């Protein structure tokens, strides 16, 4: 019995020694090096239609044990804008021992501008026929990074009375996922039914242009048709405009047709002049 106990003790001591040797070896062989990401620039300048390769420009990563890890760098998501068109992005890389390294740098989207509103057709309605719903259906917004923002548009104020002829204003706002906000005071016109007998179809309801640009109002007329659906010559259109491209602001171009038989039609193109 004493021999058996002695044998067990010897086996225990050998196992304990083996365990200690194994732990010591693992400690000696353990990878205690950390990877590192470096950038050759503080700010990355790219356009809004960037590629993944462009997002990685100027980056390198390495680890004392694994060597070059540049191809394994992963880009995270963009932060909300620090200023318009400038965001932070964080990159991360892991070595073979799953040690992480990260780097944050600024990204400047060189051609970015705040979201812009769109109109499938002008905000012109016959009295007692227009509605908030119909106006919002015509309205959209796009962002160069997010794309379609139609579902994020809100009406912030309005004095529109769709039951009474007049010129009104509809204030709208939209915000991108990175925090760029656009606000616009959109003109809305409610006219008599007789002023809608002739249809002046435009290429759209809103035009963005830069300061100093030149605008030819007839470039935005698609066609003119009378109440019977017959096409009329665009030369029948009378045009008046308050657009001043030397100053940023919201302006309008008024198009009107008066036929000899008493039929008439009118519409407006909203023009937004920006400094961008």
d(CA 221, CA 209): 17
245 phi/psi in degrees, rounded to 5: -75, 0
Is the domain of 135 the same as that of 87?
Answer: no
Residue 16 lies in a domain: no
- Same domain? For 165 and 222 the reply is yes
Burial of 266: CB neighbours in 10 Å, binned 0-12, 13-18, 19+: buried
User: Is residue 142 located within the same domain as residue 165?
Assistant: yes
Task: Name the pairing type of β-strands 221-225 and 231-232.
Answer: antiparallel
pTM across the whole model: 0.83
* Six-digit token string for 23: 């732990």
Residue 206 main-chain phi, psi, to 5 deg: -145, 145
Q: How many domains does the chain have?
A: 2
Q: Are residues 71 and 178 in the same domain?
A: no
Residue 202 and residue 230 in one domain: yes
Q: Distance between CA atoms of 138 and 65, rounded to whole angstroms?
A: 60
Final residue of a structural domain among 75, 92, 109: 109
Q: β-pairing, 238-241 with 231-232?
A: unpaired
Q: What is the pLDDT along the chain (276 residues), one digit of tens a residue?
A: 556 454 445 545 455 555 554 454 444 445 568 999 999 999 999 999 999 999 999 999 999 999 999 999 999 999 999 999 999 999 999 999 999 999 999 999 999 999 999 999 999 999 999 999 999 999 999 999 999 999 999 999 999 999 999 999 999 999 999 999 999 999 999 999 888 889 999 999 999 999 999 999 999 999 999 888 889 999 999 999 999 999 999 999 999 999 877 789 999 999 999 986
Same domain membership, residue 168 and residue 47: no
Secondary structure letter of residue 174 according to DSSP: E
Q: What angle do CA 106, 108, 109 make, to 5 degrees?
A: 145
Strands (E), 64-99: 67-68, 74-78, 86-94
Domain closes at, from 81, 109, 137: 109
4, part of any domain = no
Contact 200, 191 (CB under 8 A): no
Same domain, 122 and 232: yes
- Please tell me what DSSP assigns to residue 176: -
Q: Exposed/middle/buried for 139, CB within 10 Å: 0-12, 13-18, 19+?
A: buried
Task: Please give the residue range of the domain that contains residue 46.
Answer: 36-109
Q: Name 208's bridge partners.
A: 272
Q: Which CATH number is 162's domain given?
A: 2.60.40.10
Q: What was the pLDDT predicted at 29?
A: 44
Q: Which of 149, 209, 133, 138 is nearest to 181 (CA)?
A: 149
């Amino acid at each position: 019995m004493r021999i058996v106990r002695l044998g067990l003790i010897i086996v225990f001591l050998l196992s304990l020694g083996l365990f200690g040797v194994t732990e010591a070896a693992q400690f000696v062989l353990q990878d205690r090096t950390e990877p590192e990401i470096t950038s050759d620039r503080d700010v990355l300048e790219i356009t809004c239609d960037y590629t993944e390769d462009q997002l990685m420009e100027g980056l390198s990563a390495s680890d004392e044990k694994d060597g070059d890890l540049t191809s394994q760098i992963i880009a995270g998501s963009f932060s909300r804008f620090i200023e318009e068109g400038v965001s932070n992005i964080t990159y991360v890389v892991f070595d073979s021992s799953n040690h992480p390294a990260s780097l944050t740098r600024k990204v400047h989207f060189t051609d970015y501008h705040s979201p812009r509103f769109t109109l499938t057709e002008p905000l012109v309605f016959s009295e007692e026929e227009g509605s908030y719903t119909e106006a919002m259906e015509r309205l959209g917004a796009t962002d160069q990074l997010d794309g379609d923002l139609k579902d994020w548009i809100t009406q912030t104020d309005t004095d529109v009375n769709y039951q009474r002829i007049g010129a009104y204003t509809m204030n709208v706002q939209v915000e991108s996922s990175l925090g760029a906000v656009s606000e616009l005071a959109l003109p809305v016109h409610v006219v008599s039914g007789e002023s809608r007998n002739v249809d002046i179809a435009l290429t759209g309801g809103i035009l963005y242009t830069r300061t100093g640009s030149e605008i030819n109002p007839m470039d935005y007329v698609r066609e003119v048709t009378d109440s019977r659906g017959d096409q009329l010559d665009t030369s029948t259109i009378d045009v008046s405009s308050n657009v001043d491209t030397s100053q940023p602001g919201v302006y309008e171009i008024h198009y009107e047709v008066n036929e000899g038989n008493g039929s008439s039609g009118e519409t407006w193109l909203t023009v937004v002049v920006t400094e961008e």
